[in-house]
A and B are shown apart, each in its own frame.
Chain A
Amino acid sequence: MDTFEAIKATFFQECDELLADLETKLLDLESGAADDETINAVFRAVHSVKGGAGAFGLEALVRFAHVFETLLDELRAGRKPCDELTVRTLLRASDVLADHVAAAQGTGPEVEEARSAALVAELEVLTHGEGGSPAPDEAEDDFGFQPVAFDLPSLDLPSLDLPSPDAPGAPAAGGWRIVFRPHGRMYVNANETGLLLRELGRLGPLEVELDDSAVPMLDRLQPEENELVWTIRLTAPVDEAAVREVFDFVEGDCDLRIEPIAGEGPELPPLIETPDAPADDIDISALLAKVQDEPAAAVTPAAPATSAPAAAAPAASATAPTASSPPAAAAPATIRVDLERVDRLINVVGELVIQQAMLAQRVTESGLARSSGISVGLEDLELLTREIQDSVMAIRAQPVKSVFQRMPRLVREVAEMTGKRVRLVTEGEATEVDKTVVERLAEPITHMLRNAIDHGLETPEERTAAGKPSEGTVRLAALHRSGRIVIEISDDGRGINRERVRGIAVSKGLIAEDAALTDDEIDNLIFLPGFSTADAVSDISGRGVGMDVVRRSIQSLGGRISISSNPGKGSTFTLSLPLTLAVLDGMALGAAEQTLVAPLSAIVESLTPKAEDVHYVGGHDAVIRFREAFVPLVDVARTMGFRDAPVPPGQGVAVVVETESGARAALMVDAIHGQRQVVIKSLETNYQQVEGVAAATILGDGRVALILDVDALVANARRRPAAADLKLAS
């Protein structure tokens, strides 16, 4: 990627940030959470998008941003009221602006001309009033957009900027006579006559006359009264615009006359009467030296007088180049690092964790005493390794804000499509989670928000009839809970129609007709594969995707999803995910010579059942009594196909696990090897998803161990009708 493309990439990255900020600030305006600075920030966001877009010649984007910006300029100046209607229009304009950005980036379709034009018209009505012609106003004027392609090759040629051919004032055959009298103001702004002469000198040979007769006596010197008069003869076949260009910055801070030297024609009268001006040619370098001494010396003592002297002194000491003391108000220093480098670091630290575990195992196997120097040193190493890992993971941690920020727009769109009135409330935007998790949150959240509005919320009429406010509320919250991130999506809608859900599950053969299920179990049926069908899924919420797919995508992240519902009051989806996809706290289990890892977060308790604790139902489905209930027993080695016979009665360990929805099962294994923090490795990278297996890891001995998908194992066990029946029979 060349530099130009890199800057363009930065631009689009920045656009994403600006657009997110824009929306947040507009929502603040809508909710009344805005302060005086808010509208300025909104203006700056659109202004910056326009500025960058101009540099890249993205005309459609610039045009739209300009109209948008013009209205915002009116609003921030207080010339137009920022009322509810206006804010709503601004929000829709921000959506279209985002679409223009996406189109320019090539990540979205071209923006429909009609849609864009309609909003432009709305914005213009707000800017100029109803029926007001979008006459070129000040902003329109100063805009005069002429996209200038940021052309890299031209960087190598910092040539003098020659005026365009159609500029007024044709080249004068005899050159130009320039009479120039700077005002003191010019020096205050750090312009210097010497530099102007240097520029003129680049156009052609100069003859300079300096009349210092008007220089005031020092005792009455004021910057405004600096009355040096310069008469310059420029012998060059350039046009007048080229000469004017040199004085562009000082126009208004000087008296200037530019006249063609018309061969033998009569001299034009001088700007001011300058008796006995020296006619000799002056050496330009000598002149420059003189100029640099003179006006500078003359002006500098007077300069503080132009600003408040009292304020100047402390300011000077405060900003004096003492360099080392960090400024108090400075934002925390940040650096931008290529994500690839961070990922590489994380991978290497992952290997370090494995190596450390391997080393620890070797030391244990060697039979060294726990108090030996090596063992103690190894423990310290383990702590350090953990700390390094946590620190490295923290580098990649990001607030979920970036995902949450995309949701208001989605909610607006779905509300519009379904004719429902929705208020989105977000909480916990600052909750941090690994970048890899953040990126993969957007899809399930999008899906569930759609679902909440489309299926959860009633129409305004239905709500009013039910005695609820006509506007429904959807809440999106993030929080940390026991080492995981929990996302809750709740609505105050109608709740799950359990009768209907049950009916569908029975008709699809997912549960037995007479299966006795708790309310929670019925609610969670919607996650079963094959539950959602085309007719049960509207195109808005589903896009043809069932909740089972959502659940699977969450499970593939090591996450769990569950629902709780209150008929007539609403539903809450709870999504729980690991904070990172890189490491997992697990329990190593032994089954048929294999080591397997169960996520520690799923484990409730482990016990060593006696032979009589295990009950068999219908021949081979075993259950075990655990705290006043029977839970299905899953013989791990057999379920995984590692051996045919189950763990013999009276042997082995039962590890009771629980899913996010509260369903339990006991995993029967040969032995428990202890807790491990393991680095998660995907099976799908080189193979495919395997049922009952969430991922793989590499153990201390260098071998691959599988990480159990507890939810799948439990769900599988609980689907056995016998288990469900027996639970109720107890």
Chain B
Amino acid sequence: MTKTVLTVDDSRTMRDMLLLALEGAGYRVIQAEDGVHGLEVLAASGGADVVITDINMPRMDGFGFIQGVRSNPAYDSTPVLVLTTESDATKKARAREAGATGWIVKPFDPAKLVDAVRRVAA
């Protein structure tokens, strides 16, 4: 069955790139432009198999978004990958603390992206 990935990023370029990479790997992709929108899209589409979110976004940032996902019993076991330009141990710990399942370091290699999604997708 086709898996659905929700991408949350305020940059159109990033959304397009994620879309291209994920659709190319056979995923269905739904998109949102910030954290608030992300929660709305998640609710409207009845959840996703994997969520990928940026951190720096207007209205609600990635941390707020993850908290929103984790605090809803409907999605609390949905894997959430964080897009980050930062890959050191403190940033990883911070992402984990915020409830992220894993991370993707930007700029990302499409193969790595797809691999990360596959790793966390049930």
Q: Which residues of A contact B (CB under 8 A)?
A: 3-4, 6-7, 10-11, 13-14, 37, 40-41, 43-44, 47-48, 50-52, 54-55, 57, 138, 141-144, 147-148, 150-152, 154-161, 185, 187-192, 195, 199, 246, 248-249, 251-253, 296, 300, 303-304, 307-308, 311-312, 315-316, 318-323, 327, 329-331
Bound Cα distance A141, B87 (Å):
9
Query: Do A320 and B120 touch across chains, with their CB atoms under 8 A apart?
Result: no
| 7 contacting pairs across A/B (C-beta < 8 A) | A7-B17, A43-B56, A154-B109, A154-B110, A190-B80, A253-B96, A307-B67
Q: Choose one: A13, A43, A191, A318; the contact of B79 (CB below 8 Å).
A: A191
Query: Do B111 and A319 touch across chains, with their CB atoms under 8 A apart?
Result: no
Query: Do B46 and A330 touch across chains, with their CB atoms under 8 A apart?
Result: no
CB distance from B75 to the nearest CB of A (A): 8
CB distance from A486 to the nearest CB of B (A): 34
Residues of B within 8 A of A57 (CB): 107
Residues of A within 8 A of B120 (CB): 190-191, 195, 249
Instruction: Give the residue name and chain of the B residue nearest to A50 (CB).
Output: B85
- Which 8 pairs of residues, A with B, have the shortest CB-CB distance? A142-B86, A249-B102, A321-B46, A54-B107, A155-B24, A11-B13, A158-B114, A52-B13
Interface residues in B43-72 (C-beta closer than 8 Å to A): 43-47, 56-58, 67-68, 70-72
Query: Do A161 and B112 touch across chains, with their CB atoms under 8 A apart?
Result: yes
Query: Do B96 and A150 touch across chains, with their CB atoms under 8 A apart?
Result: no
Residues of A within 8 A of B99 (CB): 188-189
Query: Do A51 and B73 touch across chains, with their CB atoms under 8 A apart?
Result: no
Residues of B within 8 A of A3 (CB): 20
A11-B13, A319-B68 given; name 7 further pairs at CB < 8 Å.
A147-B107, A150-B107, A152-B110, A155-B24, A157-B111, A300-B76, A327-B40
CB distance from A602 to the nearest CB of B (A): 43
Query: Do B25 and A158 touch across chains, with their CB atoms under 8 A apart?
Result: yes
Q: Choose one: A44, A191, A252; the contact of B58 (CB below 8 Å).
A: A44
Bound Cα distance A311, B70 (Å):
12
Query: Do A55 and B72 touch across chains, with their CB atoms under 8 A apart?
Result: no
Query: Do B57 and A44 touch across chains, with their CB atoms under 8 A apart?
Result: yes
Among B24, B37, B71, the one with the most A-chain Cβ atoms within 10 Å of its Cβ is: B71
Instruction: Give the residue name and chain of the B residue nearest to A47 (CB).
Output: B56
Interface residues in B1-55 (C-beta closer than 8 Å to A): 10-14, 16-17, 20-21, 24-25, 36-37, 39-40, 42-47
CB distance from A76 to the nearest CB of B (A): 10
Q: Assuming A51-B106, A52-B11, is B43 touching A319 (CB within 8 A)?
A: yes
Bound Cα distance A348, B73 (Å):
53
Query: Do A190 and B78 touch across chains, with their CB atoms under 8 A apart?
Result: yes
Interface of A is mostly: helix
Residues of A within 8 A of B24 (CB): 155-156
Q: Assuming A154-B111, A189-B101, is B73 touching A303 (CB within 8 A)?
A: yes
Query: Do B92 and A307 touch across chains, with their CB atoms under 8 A apart?
Result: no
Instruction: Give the residue name and chain of the A residue nearest to B43 (CB).
Output: A319
CB distance from A340 to the nearest CB of B (A): 19
Q: Assuming A154-B110, A161-B112, is B101 touching A143 (CB within 8 A)?
A: no
Bound Cα distance A190, B120 (Å):
8
Query: Do B42 and A195 touch across chains, with their CB atoms under 8 A apart?
Result: no
Residues of A within 8 A of B72 (CB): 312, 315-316, 319
Query: Do B73 and A316 touch across chains, with their CB atoms under 8 A apart?
Result: yes
Bound Cα distance A633, B22 (Å):
71
Q: Choose one: A51, A161, A195; the contact of B85 (CB below 8 Å).
A: A51
Instruction: Give the residue name and chain of the B residue nearest to A12 (CB).
Output: B13
CB distance from A186 to the nearest CB of B (A): 9
Residues of B within 8 A of A321 (CB): 43-47, 74
Query: Do A195 and B122 touch across chains, with their CB atoms under 8 A apart?
Result: yes
Among A13, A321, A323, A331, the one with the most B-chain Cβ atoms within 10 Å of its Cβ is: A321
Bound Cα distance A55, B112 (Å):
13
Instruction: Give the residue name and chain of the A residue nearest to B110 (CB).
Output: A155
Query: Do B111 and A158 touch across chains, with their CB atoms under 8 A apart?
Result: yes
Instruction: Give the residue name and chain of the B residue nearest to A185 (CB).
Output: B96
Residues of B within 8 A of A138 (CB): 90
Q: Choose one: A10, A189, A191; the contact of B13 (CB below 8 Å).
A: A10
CB distance from B29 to the nearest CB of A (A): 13
Query: Do B10 and A323 touch across chains, with their CB atoms under 8 A apart?
Result: no
Residues of B within 8 A of A191 (CB): 79, 101-102, 120
CB distance from A334 to the nearest CB of B (A): 11
CB distance from A168 to the nearest CB of B (A): 16
Residues of A within 8 A of B90 (CB): 138
Instruction: Give the residue name and chain of the A residue nearest to B111 (CB).
Output: A154
Instruction: Give the residue name and chain of the A residue nearest to B121 (CB).
Output: A195
CB distance from B26 to the nearest CB of A (A): 9
Bound Cα distance A493, B94 (Å):
56
Bound Cα distance A192, B46 (Å):
22
Query: Do A54 and B96 touch across chains, with their CB atoms under 8 A apart?
Result: no
Bound Cα distance A321, B75 (Å):
11
Q: Assuming A151-B110, A188-B99, A249-B120, is B68 touching A320 (CB within 8 A)?
A: no
Instruction: Give the residue name and chain of the A residue nearest to B80 (CB).
Output: A190
Query: Do A320 and B74 touch across chains, with their CB atoms under 8 A apart?
Result: yes
Bound Cα distance A249, B112 (Å):
14
Query: Do B20 and A190 touch across chains, with their CB atoms under 8 A apart?
Result: no
Residues of B within 8 A of A141 (CB): 88
Q: Assuming A147-B107, A161-B112, A191-B120, is B102 touching A248 (CB within 8 A)?
A: yes
Instruction: Give the residue name and chain of the B residue nearest to A313 (CB).
Output: B73
Bound Cα distance A148, B85 (Å):
12
Query: Do A7 and B20 touch across chains, with their CB atoms under 8 A apart?
Result: yes
Residues of A within 8 A of B79 (CB): 190-191
Residues of B within 8 A of A311 (CB): 71
Query: Do A315 and B71 touch across chains, with their CB atoms under 8 A apart?
Result: yes
Query: Do B14 and A144 touch across chains, with their CB atoms under 8 A apart?
Result: no
Q: Choose one: A142, A152, A296; the contact of B91 (CB below 8 Å).
A: A142
Query: Do B56 and A323 touch across chains, with their CB atoms under 8 A apart?
Result: no
Residues of A within 8 A of B103 (CB): 249
Residues of A within 8 A of B115 (CB): 158-161
Q: Assuming A47-B56, A160-B115, A320-B43, is B73 touching A304 (CB within 8 A)?
A: yes
Q: Choose one: B42, B91, B93; the contact of A319 (CB below 8 Å).
A: B42
CB distance from B17 to the nearest CB of A (A): 6
Bound Cα distance A627, B12 (Å):
60
Query: Do A252 and B96 touch across chains, with their CB atoms under 8 A apart?
Result: yes
Bound Cα distance A494, B31 (Å):
55
Bound Cα distance A144, B36 (Å):
31
Q: Assuming A7-B20, A296-B77, is B111 touching A159 (CB within 8 A)?
A: yes
Bound Cα distance A658, B29 (Å):
59
Instruction: Give the residue name and chain of the A residue nearest to B77 (CB).
Output: A190
Query: Do B11 and A307 touch across chains, with their CB atoms under 8 A apart?
Result: no
Query: Do B70 and A144 touch across chains, with their CB atoms under 8 A apart?
Result: no
Residues of B within 8 A of A189 (CB): 80, 96, 99-101
CB distance from A292 to the nearest CB of B (A): 8
